[in-house]
Amino acid sequence: MKIKIITLFITALLAVNLQTSAQESTDVLLKNAQTIAKKEGKAIFIKFEASWCGWCHKMTKDMKAETTKKFFNDNYVMVPVVVKESKDKKHLENPGSDQLLKQYNGDTAGLPFWVILDADLKVITNSYDVNGNNLGAPGSAAEVTVFIEKIKKSAKKVTENNIENITNQFVMKK
């Protein structure tokens, strides 16, 4: 009986430990992204997000839509980083996410916050507009126009068709 109790206790401890550290650290995510970016000639698109964030889900949906997915996959190594989770979902966060968000000056921006890096991990652009406001998940025509200008700084090639597809997908319909 004692052996069963000890085994159950050890199993429970291991399960808790795995749950709290199941996510990759931001160091590992960036290292892996950098390797791929250098090999494939892409930029790195880090999107800080949380499970409770509706705008984060909208941006993910827009970037993975049938008409935009190929563009983002061809030009970026996508790195979703989970941050700012509620207490009961802290286990979903990537270790180091708060520090990385702060490093890129997004800790007071709201979510989603994104930053685009070159293959040497130098910032190309981020989700702040010229007034210092976080674009987050662009939804208005004006926000999407700013988003496209930022994308043009980091993508290998942006065609008129890409611009049309991104605009049609991201601009919220009334």
CB 127 within 8 A of CB 48: no
State residue 9's pLDDT score. 44
pLDDT for 76-128, tens place per residue? 999 999 999 999 999 999 999 999 999 999 999 999 999 999 999 999 999 99
pLDDT for 38-91, tens place per residue? 999 999 999 999 999 999 999 999 999 999 999 999 999 999 999 999 999 999
* pLDDT mean across residues, the chain: 91
| Average pLDDT of the residues in 149-163 | 97
Q: What is the DSSP string of 49-62?
A: E-TT-HHHHHHHHH
3-state helix, strand, coil in the chain (%, to 5): 50, 15, 35
State residue 173's pLDDT score. 83
Phi, psi of 63 (to 5 degrees): -75, -25
State residue 6's pLDDT score. 47
Q: 37 burial class (0-12, 13-18, 19+ CB within 10 angstroms)? A: buried
Helix (H) or strand (E) holding 163: helix 160-170
Q: Return d(Cα 167, Cα 163) in angstroms, integer.
A: 6
Q: Order across the sheet with 123-126: list the strands.
A: 76-82, 43-49, 113-117, 123-126
